[in-house]
Structure 1
């Protein structure tokens, strides 16, 4: 079984949390028993999270050797210019090494659900949206890449993993997919 969940902002990609007070987890979404996250999505990121009860399938999706593309929409602070976009496309030097080249382009503001809490808005600081397609999955990679080129990420939404897309799935809702 393969499931797509639109993970809301602030939800942990696990089913339990031992912190006090406990933070929201995947347990709140009525998912079928026996499914587990395929990969991860940070608590402060939103969008497509795949879950499966098939360990072999989960391994095929997450194994770096397969370089399955992951597509993100990132709202960034500042205006991307040709130099910054080229740096993201070529690969950015991070503390844990240089990133693989990424497909990056500016996009119009996407029609997304409102985020709770809303992204801070400053009249004097412009923002823009980027679409980034990565073929690796380092911890907080998109946020670290955009920050490295002077474009801090304000909102991050994963919209696709390989052939699976978020589509019109509302936050907190899930659907079964063809694997």
Structure 2
């Protein structure tokens, strides 16, 4: 999914949802729609799978094999090894994946306005349509602030995890 441009993915989701709703009109009665938050959330979730998966995989592979052998030699159960060795030692990588996903989600949520998901992206795109720089900045400013705040906070958490559980 990462190689598909976000706008194309959102457009494809709208088209797929429209076709599904045309084939099964009863889904409209359940509140499903081809536009709005649904396609926006599905698109964002699809994009976030890769950084979250890579962070989790890196975290699980982070411990030295000798540390895992020592944990098994002590008689730790697989769950105890996961919770007491693998995840703590891999926490910096897991948080790094979360950091990338969080910043990416903020940007994608802004693009979600293109499929009717609303949010700050709507203000940005309304400003672009009206050639109104002040309106663009009204929407873009908080998006930039949210991105920088998420990046800084999760980078600090990642650094704290590296200090707490050095590799």
TM superposition score category, shorter chain reference: under 0.3
The higher-RCO structure (CA 8 Å, 6+ apart) is 1
Q: Looking at secondary structure, tell me which structure has more helix per residue.
A: 2
TM-score, normalised to structure 2, is 0.24
TM-score, normalised to structure 1, is 0.23
> Greater CA radius of gyration, 1 or 2?
2
